[in-house]
């Protein structure tokens, strides 16, 4: 399945953490991380995406849980990805055939966009570790591990989601590094309406 812009959420050492972050932070528990995501209902910010071929893209991200996310890519990319209404759609400005679409529940993004996230569920988490600065969790759909997984990196005090790496069903990895993520506030549902976006582009 071709997913040139399938967004995954590794720069590793290049990831910029908060300057006030403690040198050694306690590993965050799965319950703490589930609670953080469950209280995160809306968020906006910037992102840098590292594509599977090593190229970089930047843009703005909008999150409205459950089930909605939007990536607006900056020039020269100018692509758009929207999850809403149970679908994930990738708009390529060079295409005149409409967006590529996939069921959201068949992608690893479904895991963090569900209404209730529970990392303590059986077989969901396949990795949970800390490097003394951040906590990393690798999660999959326990009923459908063939859809891939998502690796999430969090910092603490306060807990913040900093980046994610999606490995899709073809084994392709895409990394998204979040910056200036602001939680809360109102985001109109129109930003996540795939049909409206299709009509606007006709």
Q: Please enumerate in sequence order all residues whose Cβ is within 8 A of that of 188, keeping only pairs 6 or more positions apart, or say none.
A: none
Give the mean pLDDT of the chain. 89
Q: pTM for the complete prediction? A: 0.86
User: Between these two residues, 119 and 19, which has the higher pLDDT value?
Assistant: 119
Residue 37 has pLDDT above 90, yes or no: yes
Domain containing residue 183: CATH number:
2.50.20.10
| Half-sphere exposure (Cβ direction) of 22: Cα atoms closer than 13 Å | 11
How does pLDDT run across 100-139, given as a tens digit for each residue?
999 999 999 999 999 999 999 999 999 999 999 999 999 9
Note the Cα 188 to chain centre separation in Å: 19
The verdict on residue 96 lying in a domain is yes
CA distance 6 to 91: 11
Residue 7 lies in a domain: no
Q: How many domains does the chain have?
A: 1
Given this model, what pLDDT does residue 137 score? 98
5 in a structural domain: no
**Cis-peptide, bond into residue 158, ω within 30° of zero:** yes
Report which of 170, 137, 127 is spatially closest to residue 36, judged by C-alpha positions: 137
> Would you say residue 1 lies in a domain?
no
What residues contact 101, with CB distance under 8 A and at least 6 apart? 87, 88, 89, 90, 194
Structure confidence by residue, pLDDT tens digits, 133-180: 999 999 999 999 999 999 999 999 999 999 999 999 999 999 999 999
Domain that holds residue 167: 12-201
């Amino acid at each position: 399945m071709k997913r040139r812009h399938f967004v995954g959420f590794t720069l590793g050492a290049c990831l910029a953490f908060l300057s006030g972050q403690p040198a050694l932070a306690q590993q965050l528990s799965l319950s703490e991380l589930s609670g953080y995501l469950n209280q995160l209902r809306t968020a906006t910010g910037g992102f840098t995406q590292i594509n599977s071929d090593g190229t970089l893209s930047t843009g703005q991200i909008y999150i409205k849980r459950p089930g909605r996310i939007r990536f607006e890519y900056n020039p020269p990319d100018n692509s758009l990805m929207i999850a809403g209404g149970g679908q994930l759609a990738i708009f390529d400005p060079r295409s005149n055939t409409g967006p590529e679409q996939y069921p959201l529940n068949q992608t690893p993004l479904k895991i963090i966009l569900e209404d209730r996230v529970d990392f303590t569920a059986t077989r969901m988490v396949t990795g949970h570790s800390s490097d003394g600065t951040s906590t990393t969790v690798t999660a999959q759909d326990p009923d459908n591990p063939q859809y891939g997984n998502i690796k999430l990196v969090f910092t603490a005090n306060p807990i913040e989601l900093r980046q994610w790496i999606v490995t899709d069903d073809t084994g392709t990895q895409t990394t998204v590094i979040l910056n200036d993520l602001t939680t809360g506030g109102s985001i109109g549902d129109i930003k996540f309406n795939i049909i409206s976006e299709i009509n606007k582009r006709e």
